[in-house]
Amino acid sequence: MTDFKHIALVANIQLPEIVDSLKRLITFLTESGYQVLLEQKTAELVGDSQLPVFDSDSLETSVDLIIVVGGDGSMLSAVRSLVRYDIPLLGVNRGRLGFLTDILPDEMESQMKRVLAGEFILSSRFLLDVSISRKGTVIGTGAALNDVVLHPGKSVRMMEFELYIDGQFVYSQCSDGLIVSTPTGSTAYALSGGGPIMHPNLDAIVLVPMNPHTLSSRPIVVGGKSDIEIRVGSRNELHPLVTCDGQTDLQSEPGDIIQIHKKARQVQLIHPVAHNFYETCRTKLGWGSRLGIDERTSDRINRLVN
């Protein structure tokens, strides 16, 4: 796992800061003796590069590591398209939050050197598979690392649907929709909808109702192996959308059945050795830090209290 000889670079957003980081990264890797390959759009961003463009058909046998340069959106897109390969992914953060992309631009070379030397944490993350069936025929499929969201699209009207988990009826609901999130996605859209933050290591799925027309409807956390089924109300006048990771849309109609379950293959994300989930939450979400009490002062307080 630590023998990274062939490294593929992926970036799909044409921003000056991303192109600059790409060129710096290419220089660092090639001068360090690594074989660098580029994804097609990434090669176009770099411009006059003599580096080879990798072929997706032979990717699993020709690449040891994939580095994604961009924000969490870039990583989400890369994970969905590359999860079928057993290749770990590492992110260089050129976006905003950076829950999935850990390498800092100002420390890129030094952090990258440590990771490539084997100083890293490997994290397994599962995705969700979703399919939409209409009159017994599957009419659309998708996958998501963060979340699958049923919503009315551009309409502001509520929709009706029924929720089943492992074949058991849970409830019928009138709301703006439902967020079905992995632990990875619990700090994304599900969080803004009032859902709980889940540690990435949990084998669980959270279902967060969006503005339900009842005060008693609350987020539900279920096991990661649960089969989730949403039946779109046949009386709906809307044609709700099913959106994966906020990036790809599937159109549904009244009477459709939406099925969601854990994807069989997981993705391996690489983090720097100092990565700490709770520190990331403190930094990205603005949580309070320590009060600055050292151990000696803490011991004195404990003696006085006791």
pLDDT one-digit tens code per residue, 183-239:
999 999 999 999 999 999 999 999 999 999 888 899 999 999 999 999 999 887 778
Topology of domain 128-262 in CATH is Tumour Suppressor Smad4 (2.60.200)
How many angstroms separate the CA atoms of 96 and 105, rounded?
A: 12
CA distance 89 to 36: 15
C-alpha dist (Å) from residue 110 to 103, 146, 191: 10, 29, 33
Question: Residue for token digits 């009032």?
Answer: 194
pLDDT > 70 fraction of the chain, expressed in percent and rounded: 92
C-alpha distance from residue 259 to each of 70, 104, 215 (Å): 31, 38, 26
| Confidence check: pLDDT of 301 > 90 | no
Q: What is the pLDDT of residues 123-134, one digit of tens each?
A: 999 999 999 999
Amino acid at the residue 7:
I
pLDDT at 279 over 70: yes
Please compute the mean of the pLDDT values over residues 48-60 and round it to a whole number: 78
CA distance readout (Å), 253 to 153, 157, 239, 240: 12, 15, 5, 7
Q: In angstroms, rounded to a whole number, what is the distance separating the alpha carbons of residues 49 and 252? A: 43
Q: What is the mean pLDDT of residues 31-40?
A: 94
**Mind listing the pLDDT tens digit for each residue in 74-101?**
999 999 999 999 899 999 998 776 789 8
Q: How far is CA 123 from CA 24, 66, 94, 184, in A?
A: 26, 15, 21, 11
pLDDT-derived band at 145 (thresholds 50, 70, 90) equals very high
Q: Which secondary structure element, helix H or strand E, spans residue 232, and what is its range? A: strand 228-232
Domain ranges of the chain: 6-126+266-285, 128-262
pTM (predicted TM-score): 0.90
Q: Are 173 and 166 in contact (CB under 8 A)?
A: no
Q: In terms of CATH architecture, what is 6-126+266-285?
A: 3-Layer(aba) Sandwich (3.40)
Catalytic positions, please?
Answer: 72
Mean pLDDT computed over 254-269: 97
For residue 250, give the H/E element and its range: strand 248-251
Pull the structure tokens for residue 63.
Answer: 């690449």
> H/E element holding 260?
strand 257-262
pLDDT 10s digits, 152-193: 987 778 899 999 999 999 999 999 999 999 999 999 999 999
Residue with tokens 């109609």: 253
Strand-pairing partners, residue 49, are none
- The answer to whether residue 289 scores a pLDDT higher than 90 is no
User: β-strand 65-70 against 248-251: which pairing, if any?
Assistant: unpaired
- Asked if the model's pLDDT at residue 294 lies above 60, the reply is no
6-126+266-285 and 128-262: same fold? no
What was the pLDDT predicted at 12? 77
